[in-house]
Structure 1
C-alpha cells in the first residue's frame, strides 16, 4: 500500500525465520566435549554468570564514560568481549549518557561476531533516541537479514524512531511486521508505543484503532489517548476515555486538568482538580499549575486560596517551589492583584528566569512600567539571563508608558547583549510602541522591513494605533494584510470601519459593512464573567438575559445608563457594524456581556468594593466609555480584563489611556 523506504531494505523478504547461515554460525558455539567433567563445566558457567551479574551491577552505577571504558577493558580481559548480554547493557548506559551511537557504541557492536536480539535492540534503541533515526531502520534490516527474531523492545524502539522522524508510512510497514512475524500485535508494550507513534504523527484515529484492538491495556494505553484528545481539542472524547479508565492515576487526572485549561474550559478544570483531591490522588506540581491556570482564566481568587492551601499541604508552596510560585505570580497578575503577585515573588526562596519574567509581564499588563523596568535590571544584576518572554514583558511595559527611546534600546540589545533573537511577537511590541507614540510611518516601515514574516499581531498593533491617531491611509495597509492573514476575524473589519467613521469616510464604512455581510461574518459570542461573594463564577453572554437575576440586572443597568446620559453620555453606535436602525443598535449595545456583568457586580457586591470582570473578546468602545463613566459616578474601581490587556477604571479614567 505504501512505498518502501530506501532505508527499509526488503523487509518482507527479510521476515523469514533463521537462515541456514545463522544456524550454522550459532552451532559454532556448541562444541562437543565428550571428556569434559560436567560438574567443572557447570561450575565455570556459574562463575561466568556471577561475573556477568556483577558487571551489570557496576554498569548501573556508572555516570561517566571513563568509568564505562574501565569496565569495558575489564570484561575484555575476562573473555566477555562477545557477551551480548553485558554489552547490550553497556550500550544502554552509553545511550543514557548521550554518547553518539555512531561512535563508541557502534564500535562495540561491530566487534561482536554473533550479536543476539537484545544487543541488536540496544543499538536500535540508541539510534531511535539519539539519532540518526534512519540508522535504527538499517540496523533492524541487518538484524532480519541475519535471521534474528526481534523482541518486543525492538518494535517499541523502531516506533520511537518513526515518531521522531514523523514517518507514519514507515511506521505502518513496521506495524505490519508485528503481524507478519507474529506474536507481537497483542503485546502491551508494543501497542503502547504504536499508539504513541500514530498520535505524534498526527494520525489519532489510527492510534484509537490500535487501542480498541488491544486485548490488554494499562494506564499508559488510556492516558496516551486521553492526552492526545486533550491536545486535539476534543475534550468530550477525552472525558469518555477518562471515565472508562479502570484505575485513574495522577498522570491521567493531570492530563484531564491540563487539557481543560488548554482548551479554555477553566470551570471543568477546577471541577476535575477537586474530584482528583476527593479521590485521594497525590497532587504534583503539574496538576497544581493546571489548577492555578484555571483560576487565572476565571479570575477566581477564592478557588486560588483553596489551591494555595493544597500546595502547602503537598509541600509545594510558592515559597519553596519555583514552578508553583511562578504560576501563582501569573495567576494573581491576571486576577488584577499585581501587588499580591509581587508579594509572592518577594517571598520565593529561589527565583529563576520564569519567575522574573512572570512578574515583569504582570507589571506590564497592569501598566506599571517603572516597576517592570526596575525588576528587569535587578534580574540582569543577579546574572539571570532574560528570555523571549522577558523581553515581551519589558517592551510591552515601554509601550504602555510611552517610553520610546528606552524601548528602542532594549530591542536593539536583545540579540547583541543577551543572545535573544527577536521574534514576530517582539516586532509586534515595537510596532505597538511606535504606533502608540504616534510614530506611524516608522511603525509601518518596521513592519514592512522586518527580517521575518509579520503575523497578525504586528499588523493588528498598527491598525490599533491608526484608530488612536486617526490615520485611515495606513490603516488600510494594515487591514489589507490582516484580511489576508485572518480573513474570518470580524474584529479587524469592525476596527477599520470605525477608523473610516471617525474620518468621516462613510462610503468606506458602507463598503466594509457590505464586505462583512458578503462574507457572512458574525462576531464570536461575547462572554463576560465575574466572581460572586460565595466564590461562584457568573457568566453573561451578549444578547442573552437568562440569568436568574435578569430583571434586576436590566433595571440596574437602565438606571446606570440614564444617569450617564444626563451627564452627557451618548452611545457609540459605530461599535455595531450591522445595517440596522440606530434604535436597534442601542438595544444591542445594552446587552453586551461586560455591561451585564457590571450591573450584576453593582447589585451583588459591597458598596465601594472593586468590581472585577473578565471578557473573552476585546472590549468595545461603547462599553469602555460606560465603564469609565460608571467608575466615576459609583466611586468604584472597575477592573476589566479583555483579550488584549487589563483596564483599571478609576474616577472616570482608564489606565490604558483609551488605547487598547
Structure 2
C-alpha cells in the first residue's frame, strides 16, 4: 500500500495495531507507532490513540500504554477503561483506582473492571465496596459483574453478603435458576459461605446445568465433608452425559481425600484419561498425594511424587508436607520442605509447617534452625486470624493472643469455664500443637489464645442459643483447636462451623464432619 503511494487513513493504523496486539509483537507495534507520528495528522487521532493503548497493553508494556494515554489531547471512555482493565490484571489496583477516579463518565465496563480486579486480586471487601458504590450510582449490572461480586462473597465467606447478592441478582433479572453462569457461581458462593443446603437448593432449582454447575456442587460437597453426596452427584452427572473436566475431577478427588476413600480415589484417578479423555495434571497428582498421605500411606504418596510423569509443583510437595504434619513424619517432611523452599522461597507457611512437625516430635534444634532460616530470609509469619459472623451479619475479627478486645475479660471467662467443663469430659490440651520450646504452662496459655477459640467465645456471648456459630480462619485449624471445638459442640449442644484455609468443619454433638481427615 505504501509502495503504491496510497495514503493510510485512521482505520489503517487501528487495524495494524490490533494485528500487532493479537500477535503480541511489541517491536512491530512500535514501528507502526513510529509511522503514525511520521505521517502527519495521526498523532492526535482518538481512535489511533486508543488502538495504541490497546496494542501496548496486549504486549504487556503498560508503561508505554500509560504514556500514550497521558499525551492524548482527547480521550473517551475506551481510553480510560482499557488502561483500568490492564492495571487490574497486573494487580496494580492503586493505579487502576486513580484512573477510575479521574474517569469523567463511569460506565458499566469501568465499574466491572474495578469490581473484578479487586475480586481476582484477593481483596473481596474492596470488591464489595465498589459494587455497593456501583449500585448507588444506579449503573446496570450484568452477569460478568455479578459473577465477580459472587466470587468476592465466596472469598469472604459471609452469609450476609450472599443474601444481598442474591437479591441484587433477582432485581437485575439474573435469577440463578434461569442464568447458568450466575447459578453456577452462586452454588460455589453458598458452599464457601458455609450454607451447603442453600447451595444445593440453587443447584436443584436450576433449569439448565453445565459442567461448571456440577463441578461447583461436587467441590462444595467435598469441602463440607459430604464425600458420599459428592460421589453420588458425580454419578448423576455422568448419567446426564455432561462430560466432566479437570475441575470436576479435582472436586471428586478432594471428596475421596477428605472422606478417606482411598480405593475409590485410585479407581477414579486411573479412569480419568482412559474413560473420560482428561489427562491428569499437577493438581490432580497433588490430590492423589493428599489422598494417600491423609490416609497414612506416606511412603506410597512419596513414591508417587518421585514417579509421576510431570515435574511435581508446589501443590504436590505441599500435599506431602501436610500429610507429614498429620502423621508426624519429620524425615519425609524434610525432603518435601526442601523442594518447597526452592519452588516457593518466600512462602512462610511451608517453613511454619516444618517447624510444627519438628516440634511435634521434640526436635527443638531443628525447629531453631528453621526459625533462623526464616529470620535470615526476612520472612514475616502471618498472624492467626479468625472472623465470627453474627446473626445480624456483622463480622468480628480476632487475632491470636489478642488482649485489646473490648470484651476480652468476658471472652477469657467463657474460655476458662469451657476448659473446666471439657476437662470433666476427659479433654486434655494437645501441647504438641505449639511449635515453641517453652514450659507446659506457657503452651497451655498459647493454645487458649488461638484466634478461633477467641472467636468461639465471643460467638457464645453474642448469639442466641439455637443459632449455629460460624467462624472463618485464615490458617489451618490446629489439632488442639479441632479437639476443643468437638468437645464444646457436645457440652453446649450447638453446631459450630469453622472454615479454615483447607475446608469446612461442622462440629456437632462431639464429632466433626471431616472425620478427622483434614
Asked if the contact 1:270–1:291 (Cα under 8 Å) also holds between the matched residues in 2, the reply is yes
Which of 551, 554, 557 is equivalent to 2:415? 557
Asked if the contact 2:26–2:59 (Cα under 8 Å) also holds between the matched residues in 1, the reply is yes
Q: Tell me the distance in 1 between the aligned counterparts of 2:410 and 2:35.
A: 69
Which of 166, 171, 179 is equivalent to 1:308? 166
Displacement of 1:205 after TM fit? Answer: 2.1
Which of 306, 313, 320 is equivalent to 1:448? 306
User: Does residue 1:147 correspond to 2:18, yes or no?
Assistant: no
Corresponding residue for residue 465 of structure 1: 323
Asked if the contact 2:385–2:399 (Cα under 8 Å) also holds between the matched residues in 1, the reply is yes
Corresponding residue for residue 476 of structure 1: 334
User: Does residue 1:271 correspond to 2:141, yes or no?
Assistant: no
Residues 110-121 of structure 1 mapped to structure 2, 5 A cutoff:
none
Asked if the contact 1:526–1:617 (Cα under 8 Å) also holds between the matched residues in 2, the reply is yes
Which of 43, 51, 55 is equivalent to 1:193? 51
Residues 488-503 of structure 1 mapped to structure 2, 5 A cutoff:
488-503=346-361
Asked if the contact 2:125–2:152 (Cα under 8 Å) also holds between the matched residues in 1, the reply is yes
Which of 402, 417, 424 is equivalent to 2:260? 402
Residues 154-553 of structure 1 mapped to structure 2, 5 A cutoff:
154-553=12-411
- From the superposition, tell whether residues 176 and 534 of structure 1 become closer, same or farther in structure 2 (CA, over 3 Å): same
Asked if the contact 1:298–1:537 (Cα under 8 Å) also holds between the matched residues in 2, the reply is no
Displacement of 1:224 after TM fit? Answer: 1.4
Is the partner of 1:145 in helix, strand or coil? coil
Q: Tell me the distance in 1 between the aligned counterparts of 2:29 and 2:447.
A: 56
1:386-416 per-position Cα deviation (integer Å, ceiling 9, x unaligned): 1111000111111122222221121111111
Aligned Cα RMSD in Å? 2.2
Q: Tell me the distance in 2 between the aligned counterparts of 1:196 and 1:544.
A: 49
Q: Mark the runs of 5 or more structure 1 residues left unpaired by the alignment.
A: 1-142
Asked if the contact 1:529–1:540 (Cα under 8 Å) also holds between the matched residues in 2, the reply is yes
Q: Tell me the distance in 2 between the aligned counterparts of 1:154 and 1:398.
A: 57
- From the superposition, tell whether residues 487 and 563 of structure 1 become closer, same or farther in structure 2 (CA, over 3 Å): farther
- The structure showing larger relative contact order (alpha-carbon pairs under 8 Å, at least 6 residues apart) is 2
Q: Tell me the distance in 2 between the aligned counterparts of 1:545 and 1:269.
A: 31
Q: Tell me the distance in 2 between the aligned counterparts of 1:502 and 1:550.
A: 30
Displacement of 1:345 after TM fit? Answer: 0.6
Corresponding residue for residue 655 of structure 1: 513
TM-score normalised by structure 2 residue count:
0.93
Asked if the contact 1:618–1:644 (Cα under 8 Å) also holds between the matched residues in 2, the reply is yes
Q: Tell me the distance in 2 between the aligned counterparts of 1:582 and 1:390.
A: 46
Displacement of 1:448 after TM fit? Answer: 1.1
TM-score normalised by structure 1 residue count:
0.74
Pick which of 650-659 and 200-209 moved more.
650-659
- From the superposition, tell whether residues 520 and 564 of structure 1 become closer, same or farther in structure 2 (CA, over 3 Å): farther
Corresponding residue for residue 67 of structure 1: none
1:350-380 per-position Cα deviation (integer Å, ceiling 9, x unaligned): 0111111111111111111111111111111
Q: Tell me the distance in 1 between the aligned counterparts of 2:24 and 2:415.
A: 56
Displacement of 1:570 after TM fit? Answer: 4.9
Q: Tell me the distance in 2 between the aligned counterparts of 1:568 and 1:641.
A: 26
Residues 21-170 of structure 1 mapped to structure 2, 5 A cutoff:
143-170=1-28
- From the superposition, tell whether residues 185 and 558 of structure 1 become closer, same or farther in structure 2 (CA, over 3 Å): farther
1:241-286 per-position Cα deviation (integer Å, ceiling 9, x unaligned): 2222111111111111111211222222222222212211111111
Asked if the contact 2:359–2:435 (Cα under 8 Å) also holds between the matched residues in 1, the reply is no
Displacement of 1:318 after TM fit? Answer: 0.8
1:195-254 per-position Cα deviation (integer Å, ceiling 9, x unaligned): 222223222222222111111111111111222222222222222222221111111111
Corresponding residue for residue 491 of structure 2: 633
1:320-363 per-position Cα deviation (integer Å, ceiling 9, x unaligned): 00011001100111111112111111110001111111111111
Pick which of 545-554 and 395-404 moved more.
545-554
Q: Tell me the distance in 2 between the aligned counterparts of 1:588 and 1:470.
A: 21
Q: Tell me the distance in 2 between the aligned counterparts of 1:313 and 1:199.
A: 35
Asked if the contact 1:239–1:256 (Cα under 8 Å) also holds between the matched residues in 2, the reply is yes
- From the superposition, tell whether residues 316 and 658 of structure 1 become closer, same or farther in structure 2 (CA, over 3 Å): same
- From the superposition, tell whether residues 182 and 451 of structure 1 become closer, same or farther in structure 2 (CA, over 3 Å): farther
Asked if the contact 1:270–1:294 (Cα under 8 Å) also holds between the matched residues in 2, the reply is yes
Corresponding residue for residue 73 of structure 1: none
Residues 611-630 of structure 1 mapped to structure 2, 5 A cutoff:
611-630=469-488
Q: Tell me the distance in 2 between the aligned counterparts of 1:424 and 1:507.
A: 34
Q: Tell me the distance in 2 between the aligned counterparts of 1:166 and 1:574.
A: 54
- From the superposition, tell whether residues 227 and 560 of structure 1 become closer, same or farther in structure 2 (CA, over 3 Å): farther
Asked if the contact 1:494–1:575 (Cα under 8 Å) also holds between the matched residues in 2, the reply is no
Q: Tell me the distance in 2 between the aligned counterparts of 1:440 and 1:420.
A: 26
Displacement of 1:424 after TM fit? Answer: 0.5
Q: Mark the runs of 5 or more structure 2 residues left unpaired by the alignment.
A: none
Displacement of 1:568 after TM fit? Answer: 5.3
Is the partner of 2:484 in helix, strand or coil? helix
Larger radius of gyration: 1
Pick which of 330-339 and 161-170 moved more.
161-170
Displacement of 1:546 after TM fit? Answer: 4.8
Q: Tell me the distance in 2 between the aligned counterparts of 1:459 and 1:345.
A: 34
